Amino acid sequence: MSIQSTSLETHSSTERAELEQKPHILPNEVSPEVQQKIDLIDAIFQAPDKKARTKAILHAAETLGKTTRTIRLMMEKVKNEGVATLAVGRKDEGQFRISDQWFKFIVKTYEWGRRDGSRININEVYVHLVALASQGEALRDKKYADRFKGFPQVLEDLILEKYPSHVTVYKAVNFHLEQTNKKVRHPGSPAEGQIIQTTEGIIELTYSNQVWQCDHTKLDILLVDEDGDVILQVDAKEEEIIGRPFLTSIIDSYSGCVMGFHLGFEAAGSHETGLALRHAMLPKQYGSEYELQRTWNVFGVPAYWLTDRAKEFKSNHLKQISMQMGFKRRLRAFPSAGGLIESIFDKINKEVLSHLPGYTGSNVAGRPKDAEKHASLTLDELEKLLVKYFADHYNQHDYPRVANQKRAERWNANLLAHPEILNERDLDICLMKVAHRKVEKRGCLRFKGLVYQGDCLVDYEGDEVSFRYDKRNIITLLAYTLPKHGQPGEFIGAVRARDAKEDQLSLEELEWLKRKLRERGQAVDNNSIWAERLGLYEFIDKKRKSKRQRRRGVQQHRNQKTNQSKVTELFPQNADPENQPTVQENTTPVTEQSQPSVVEFTHEPASSPPIVSNVVAYDWNQLLEDNW
């Protein structure tokens, strides 16, 4: 640095300004060609005398195929600008030499040809220039005035039949397309000072549980039902594919933690969003069957709720939830503001779903073959995998913008206050409110063909109550008093399906079972549903065994009848004499009361002696009665 400043002091102010404006360049990579130039120019500089110097210049010119004048210019550039100039080619290499007017006119012509469904190519742009030039002085007419407005030089050049070459037109258009389609990746906001743009202003992220984002996606995997053979046909497949599930996920914007989710086959709506919110706001408690290594200990209530403009996010149900829980709803100002929530869907696809049987892939054209054939995962199994992925993997990963800090650690370290553990009853508003039901005797009520019973309903026999439920599990309903005189309903208690033998049954599964039972003409009640689920395999085995027994019995009956058959060969004359059957002659006189059971026929050809045939005829009525 001191050497440079000293050298600048020896120059005049004009020379100093010129030197300061010179670019400082260094060679990044030295190719063999550049190294050859360096060696030849260095040999010239290192020459001991003028004669050796001249000889070195001639050798360099001959080796590089240049003139001695070009070699001397290269030496001068190295002196003034440094050795990196040997790696610089022509400044206009790969560029096109046309005026700014011509460049803009070519681009304008190309864009005009791509509007309103037209799709001209670059070659047609050049053809259009040739066609215009062929008009000569006619281009000054009024009909071309708008075409050449702002391009007087282009007009004069075309009249003189001067226009860019075919190659130049290609270079100009391609340069324009490269600049237009250039994508520059955003490096991401710094760890602190992140902002989110909403339709109502900018929110600066400063703490955990400040802004939660929510979105849905249809997962790229095919699932099967809990009981694959629940279809009521004997020859049904062991597992029936029932579709791709929908995932609703909620993420904390400050820490990147997954706060909660909802998984189901129903297209995501306000109810699914409410269930995901309920899951996110409550502490997570999972049993040993989930095999979690870490505790999923993120919960609370957000200050802001950020979504896109989907109708379910603007529903009355979400308005009620936000009013009761005390958070503000905001909409994204731009689609790119939802990049965080979209990234989790991409990670689930790559890190979880792509490893599972039944994965379909996001690209329909590249979908794996026989995805339906390999599908074997149930909804509950996928839910367990996602819970384990969020708790043990995603939330435990390093936060991208801060070194050595996990997402879960960042969430816990940047809370304004430890979140309050909410009462589940306060979150019942997240569940769907259904039609009223009248309480029957013994504290029973009916819903979707199931009978629910609870001691808490005994005092309400004959009265109407309302209740809420979770579609994922309708074994239990939450009963409330019917709102009266503008007063809200009060929680009565939880009631359970009376004859349920299982701990979980989704509404979709219940509807499916009812549909299958209707196809068989059975009464739809809870007893038949549970019997269907528990006795399915016995039914299949019974049908298979009875089918085999029927086939065996029919075959034995046929064999027995065949062994007792008394049918006589109709054409014994074609058989060997030894094997011809012996038929006794019927000498019983024919009367009106008794008809002969066997009648003897005699055939006498004209050209041969009489032959007595043993062909016999039966009493067909008696034959049918005895043998058929």
Tell me the angle at which helices 13-21 and 2-9 cross, rounded to the nearest 10 degrees: 140
The reported pLDDT for the residue numbered 529 is: 55
The reported pLDDT for the residue numbered 587 is: 46
Residue 480 reports pLDDT greater than 70:
yes
Please report, as a single letter, which amino acid is at residue 135.
Answer: Q
Map tokens 């409550």 to a residue: 282
Q: Taking residues 2-15, what's their average pLDDT? A: 44
CA atoms within 13 A on the CB side of 385: 14
pLDDT confidence tier of residue 3, bands split at 50, 70 and 90: very low
Q: Which residues have a Cβ under 8 Å from the Cβ of 315 and sit 6 or more positions away?
A: 269, 270
SS3 state of residue 490: coil
Residue 584 reports pLDDT greater than 60:
no
pLDDT confidence tier of residue 296, bands split at 50, 70 and 90: very high
Residue 391 reports pLDDT greater than 50:
yes
Contact 203, 211 (CB under 8 A): yes
pLDDT confidence tier of residue 89, bands split at 50, 70 and 90: low
The reported pLDDT for the residue numbered 189 is: 56
3-state secondary structure labels for all residues of 236-260? CCCCCEEECCEEEEEEECCCCCEEE
The reported pLDDT for the residue numbered 268 is: 80
Please report, as a single letter, which amino acid is at residue 411.
Answer: W
Give 224's DSSP letter. Answer: E
The reported pLDDT for the residue numbered 372 is: 76
| Burial of 116 from C-beta contacts in 10 A (0-12 / 13-18 / 19+) | exposed
Question: Tens of pLDDT along 395-453?
Answer: 998 887 777 888 999 999 999 888 888 877 777 777 766 667 888 888 888 888 788 88
* Fold exhibited by the domain 431-534: SH3 type barrels. (2.30.30)
The reported pLDDT for the residue numbered 211 is: 94
The reported pLDDT for the residue numbered 620 is: 52
Give 197's DSSP letter. Answer: E
Question: Tens of pLDDT along 204-249?
Answer: 899 999 999 999 999 988 888 765 432 222 333 444 556 789 999 9
Thinking of the domain 195-362+371-413, which architecture would CATH place it in? 2-Layer Sandwich (3.30)
Strand pairing of 211-218 and 246-252? antiparallel
Terminal alpha carbon distance of the chain: 120
161 Ramachandran zone, left/alpha/beta (phi>0; psi -120 to 50): left
The reported pLDDT for the residue numbered 561 is: 56
Residue 37 reports pLDDT greater than 60:
yes
Question: Tens of pLDDT along 313-368?
Answer: 888 888 888 888 889 999 988 777 667 888 888 889 888 988 888 888 776 666 66
Q: Which of 106-110, 286-290, 599-603, 620-624 is the least confident region?
A: 599-603
Q: Which residues have a Cβ under 8 Å from the Cβ of 339 and sit 6 or more positions away?
A: none
Around Cβ 598, how many Cβ atoms within 10 Å? Answer: 14
The reported pLDDT for the residue numbered 9 is: 43
Map tokens 């960042």 to a residue: 410
Contact 172, 96 (CB under 8 A): yes
The reported pLDDT for the residue numbered 96 is: 64
Rounded Cα gap, residues 455 and 492, in angstroms: 10
Question: Tens of pLDDT along 419-434?
Answer: 888 877 777 777 766 6
Question: Tens of pLDDT along 183-209?
Answer: 766 555 555 668 888 888 889 899 999
Domain boundaries, the chain: 2-87, 100-180, 195-362+371-413, 431-534, 570-628
Q: Which residues have a Cβ under 8 Å from the Cβ of 43 and sit 6 or more positions away?
A: 56, 59, 60
The reported pLDDT for the residue numbered 358 is: 84
The reported pLDDT for the residue numbered 242 is: 60
CA 604, distance to chain mean position in Å, is: 88
pTM: 0.52
The reported pLDDT for the residue numbered 59 is: 93
